């Protein structure tokens, strides 16, 4: 049975859901508020659980070709002293899939093209949702009403629809640090080309992650770089001051960090105050499902935001498919599917939101003694503890 499915939001979660439902033969429309697709942020660390979903949706090979080859992880002190250095191969072998750090623009284009422009309407702002057992209607800002059997809300961390769907005010909360992120040309002078290097100290962090050449037209290998600084919310963002800001925040850090600060292009840099939301008790309403950052906006400290959006898309589409095969009518099938989606996702994403928040606090010096203990632990780390934590996250997903 083919359904009419409307997706609000053309980010990673929305496009993944649209593709999953399209591949099942449903009639899909995606409505996106912006007039032109411009991914927020430089890149994303797509871990094996997200890559596995992309393989199931037919895009895994394409994504592996345009992503970075990341085979090692290194931690260094802020002065540049090596704390730990270990291979990621044992992790990849354990979960039967490598990670794929990738340009957000390249990933979004890959998903956009797979869904098809004919299914995506840009410049369409959904401001309300009306639903009952018979169907659901998305109400656009200009008054247009679009009816469907199922509505997927994937309109991001600033979702305008989330409060209505869960029946309560859901406030974003500041996690405590600012993140600057950018792509730069990958050179051995900055970091080994297949290693994820992280400099830590003073409650701050600098990261260089190999992300391949998918983000540019010149075939130039690039690093996905970010700088984290704990600071009060509400600070001014001015691209003309980014370099001077970072020179001040990272004064005295490693020569490689100083070189990175001199190298990046401020016009290509994003500066974000990191927020999350409290874990939600449910992600659904009648004929409506929340997914992605709208459902579980989280700190990026576990690298799971995009991966969890992809898991959402896969779980929801599979739940709908199975319920349609079992139930006598569409209303019963969708009620069953949404109940199963909640059952599969609420605890999973809530636990990851909480873990990401806890890790953000540890990395960024919320408790200085705890952060110092982590630095000392990194000096003894052989990789087992870090890799086991990532493995458990992957193993907890729907395609373990």
Ordered DSSP codes for 132-158: ETTEEEEEETTS-EEEESEEEE---TT
Residue of 359, 74, 39 lying closest to 183 (CA atoms): 39
Pick from 185, 196, 189: which is nearest to 219 by CA? Answer: 185
Residue 214: per-residue pLDDT: 76
d(CA 160, CA 179): 24
∠ CA 117-121-122, rounded to 5° = 105
Tokens of 245: 């800001």
pLDDT at 164: 93
Question: Cα separation of 29 and 119, whole Å?
Answer: 5
Residue 135 has a CB neighbour count (10 Å cut-off) of: 18
What does the DSSP 8-state code read for residue 160? S
Model pLDDT, residue 39: 63
Provide the pLDDT for residue 41.
65
Over the range 237-259, which residues count as b (16 or more CB within 10 Å of their CB) and which as e? eeeeebbebbeebbeebbebbbe
Q: Is the torsion defined by CA of 352, 23, 290, 106 positive or negative?
A: positive
Helix (H) or strand (E) holding 390: helix 384-395
What are the DSSP E strand ranges found in the chain?
Answer: 4-8, 27-32, 43-46, 72-77, 82-87, 100-103, 120-122, 126-132, 135-140, 145-148, 150-153, 172-185, 195-201, 204-210, 222-230, 270-277, 284-285, 288-290
List per-block mean pLDDT (blocks of 10 residues) for the chain, which spans 400 residues: 96 97 98 82 91 98 96 98 98 97 93 97 96 94 97 96 94 97 95 97 98 80 96 93 97 97 94 97 97 97 97 98 95 97 98 98 98 97 94 94
Distance CA 313, CA 318 (A): 9
Q: Kindly state the tokens that stand for 287.
A: 């004929």
Residue 171 corresponds to which tokens in the numbers above? 């406030």
Rounded Cα distance between 373 and 383, Å, is 17
Q: What is the pTM of this model?
A: 0.96
pLDDT score recorded for residue 60: 97
Q: What is the DSSP string of 310-338?
A: HHHHHHHHHHHHHHHHHSSSHHHHHHHHH
| Cα 246 from chain centroid (whole Å) | 24
Query: Backbone dihedral region of 393: left (phi > 0), alpha (psi from -120 to 50 degrees) or beta?
Result: alpha
Report the distance separating Cα 326 and Cα 324, nearest Å: 5
pLDDT at 40: 63
């Amino acid at each position: 049975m083919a359904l009419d499915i409307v997706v609000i939001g053309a980010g990673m979660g929305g496009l993944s859901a649209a593709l999953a439902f399209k591949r099942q033969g449903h009639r899909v429309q995606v409505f996106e508020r912006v007039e032109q697709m411009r991914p927020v942020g430089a890149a994303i660390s797509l871990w094996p659980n997200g890559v596995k979903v992309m393989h199931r949706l037919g895009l895994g090979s394409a994504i592996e070709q345009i992503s970075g080859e990341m085979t090692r992880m290194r931690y260094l002190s802020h002065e540049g002293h090596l704390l730990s250095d270990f291979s990621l191969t044992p992790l990849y072998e354990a979960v039967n899939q490598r990670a794929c750090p990738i340009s957000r623009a390249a990933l979004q284009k890959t998903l956009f093209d797979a869904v098809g422009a004919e299914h995506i309407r840009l410049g369409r702002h959904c401001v309300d949702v009306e639903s009952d057992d018979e169907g659901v209607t998305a109400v656009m800002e200009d008054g247009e009403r679009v009816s469907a059997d199922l509505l997927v809300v994937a309109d991001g961390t600033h979702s305008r629809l989330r409060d209505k769907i869960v029946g309560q005010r859901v406030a974003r909360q500041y996690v405590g640090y600012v993140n600057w992120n950018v792509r730069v040309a990958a050179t051995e002078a900055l970091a080994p080309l297949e290693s994820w290097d992280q400099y830590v100290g003073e409650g701050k962090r600098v990261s260089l992650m190999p992300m391949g050449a998918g983000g540019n037209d010149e075939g130039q290998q690039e690093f996905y770089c970010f700088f984290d600084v704990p600071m009060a919310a509400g600070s001014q963002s001015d691209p003309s001051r980014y370099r001077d800001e970072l020179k001040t925040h990272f004064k005295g850090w490693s020569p490689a960090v100083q070189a990175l600060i001199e190298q990046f292009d401020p016009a290509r840099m994003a500066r974000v105050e990191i927020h999350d939301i409290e874990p939600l008790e449910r992600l659904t309403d009648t004929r409506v499902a929340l997914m992605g950052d709208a459902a579980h906006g989280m700190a990026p400290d576990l690298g799971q935001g995009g991966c969890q959006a992809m898991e959402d898309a896969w779980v929801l589409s599979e739940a709908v498919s199975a319920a349609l095969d079992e139930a006598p009518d569409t209303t019963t099938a969708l009620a069953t599917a949404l109940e199963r989606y909640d059952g599969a996702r609420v605890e999973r994403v809530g636990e990851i939101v909480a873990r990401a928040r806890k890790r953000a606090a540890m990395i960024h010096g919320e408790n200085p003694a705890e952060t110092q203990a982590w630095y000392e632990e990194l000096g003894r780390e052989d990789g087992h503890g870090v890799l086991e934590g990532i493995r458990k996250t992957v193993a907890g997903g729907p395609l373990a």
